[in-house]
Amino acid sequence: MTNTTNSNTMKTKFLLLITVALLSVSAKSIAQAPDDCTILLSYFTEQAKVKNYEAALPHYEKLIKDCPKANMAIYQYAVKMFDYFIEEKGDKSKVNDLIEAYQLRLQNFPEQTKEGDVLSTIAQIKYDNNIGTKEEQFKAYDEAFKKYPADFTSGKSLYTYFSLAVDLQSEGKKSLQEIFDLYDVVISKIDTEKNSLASKLTPLMDKEEAGTALTDKEQRAKDVYENNLGVYGTVEGSVNGKLGQLADCPNLIPLYEKDYEEKKNDIDWLKNASNRLDAKDCESPLSNKLAVRLHELEPSSTSAYLLGKQAESEGKASKALEYFNQAADLESDNSKKARIYYSIAENYRKKGSYGTARNYYNKMLDAKPSAGIAYLKIAQMIGDSSNSCGSTVFEKRAINWLAADMAAKAARVDGSLASSANAAASAYRQRAPQASDIFSEGMAGKTVKFNCWVGGSVRVPNL
């Protein structure tokens, strides 16, 4: 009897252990099972990855309703999906869905989303699809730019923002001064983006020029920088084209003459008026009056620069140089400092002091890395020095390789003058020794040094 009882007890314990083990495994399996949101996300992304957007759409609609915070990939794929429906299928009914996808990403993943970028993108979508009035469209861009200027980097959106303002001015809904003020802001933003890109591109160009091959990563980065610089150059040209005749001297001079008496004690107004007349090379007694008045009220970099320009226009080069140097010492804004250095460099270049001129062009580049005009002017001086920078015909012509490289640099950092800079580079290469000259002189692979102001050397290509 005892043996039977013990046997039953052992069986009961064994069964209990098995039951507990099974329950444990079952509980663990349940804990590891994917939840509904994970499954739904998987259904959506699997279809979206292979661009089967018709199949993906129903899953997306369930996700944003039941699992909006499941994963940011929901909204990244959603943008591609709705772009497909709108652009490829021509389904304009999906425009609001596209806008909502951006808004939902911002709402559910604010830490991983730039609000300014979202606002400007939505503004562009509305503009591209004719949603709202021009005033409403402009207001959307204006809000995005003023709240988050650092995030507002789209060249297309910068142009549209300015273009809408000009259209509103032509309809009598904005003043000419408002257009000028916005122009300054937009051009300054473009300059900032160009300078940032050029400062990253320059070391890579220098590395190449030194004969060191770029890594694959560096080459990809260089291609991106050059492409984006080209985009911003195009945008800058478009913005200037849109401003067009509004900022021509026949409009500017009467505008500022009319307001002079009322504004002659307003330093900011004097600066803006003077700078705009100078930028357009407007020849008028008003220019000198503005510069003198500004220097009386507040001797500054701006007033000294403008007096320098006035002296230069009167043929007083030495006096102009004195004012320009004073202006450079007083200026802290890099964009304005670059303009001053350019004026000084031009002063020396026109006098034939090429070495000193190059120093100031380089100062301009230090202040504004995207100033392609500085590279182009240096190229011009190098090309003009061929007869004085070599003892043989071959050496004199060889210097054109340096000029070509400098002109090519200008095109790479400043898309707004890429066409003229590339044409100049091509012309300089035509003037340089050709393959037949290299062969007949036996110069292949050799180095030609320059002892004139240009300095440095160039390695002759191998045949």
Q: pTM score, two decimals?
A: 0.74
Question: 39: pLDDT confidence band, cut at 50, 70 and 90?
Answer: very high
Please tell me the predicted confidence (pLDDT) of residue 390: 85
pLDDT (tens digit per residue) in 197-234: 999 999 999 998 888 999 999 999 999 999 999 999 99
pLDDT (tens digit per residue) in 381-410: 999 999 889 889 999 999 999 999 999 999
Q: Which domain holds residue 377?
A: 370-463
Quick check: is 198 in a domain? no
Please tell me the predicted confidence (pLDDT) of residue 285: 87
Number of domains the chain is built from: 2
The secondary element (H helix, E strand) that includes residue 120 is: helix 115-128
Residues 330 and 417 in one domain: no
Please tell me the predicted confidence (pLDDT) of residue 182: 94
Question: 247: pLDDT confidence band, cut at 50, 70 and 90?
Answer: confident
- The per-residue DSSP string of 304-368 comes to HHHHHHHHHHTT-HHHHHHHHHHHHHH---HHHHHHHHHHHHHHHHHTT-HHHHHHHHHHHHHH-
pLDDT (tens digit per residue) in 58-95: 999 999 999 999 999 999 999 999 999 999 999 999 99
Residues 319 and 347 in one domain: yes
Please tell me the predicted confidence (pLDDT) of residue 391: 87
Domain termination residue (choose one: 324, 358, 392): 358
Mean pLDDT of the chain: 89
Residues 331 and 408 in one domain: no
Residue 254 sits in a domain of what CATH number? 1.25.40.10
Contacts of residue 221, defined as CB under 8 A and 6 or more positions apart, other chains included, come to 200, 204
Please tell me the predicted confidence (pLDDT) of residue 199: 94
Give the C-alpha separation, 431 to 462, whole Å. 18
Q: Ramachandran region of residue 132, left (φ > 0), alpha (ψ -120 to 50) or beta? A: left
Residues 385 and 437 in one domain: yes
Question: 287: pLDDT confidence band, cut at 50, 70 and 90?
Answer: confident
Residues 352 and 401 in one domain: no
Domain termination residue (choose one: 307, 336, 358): 358
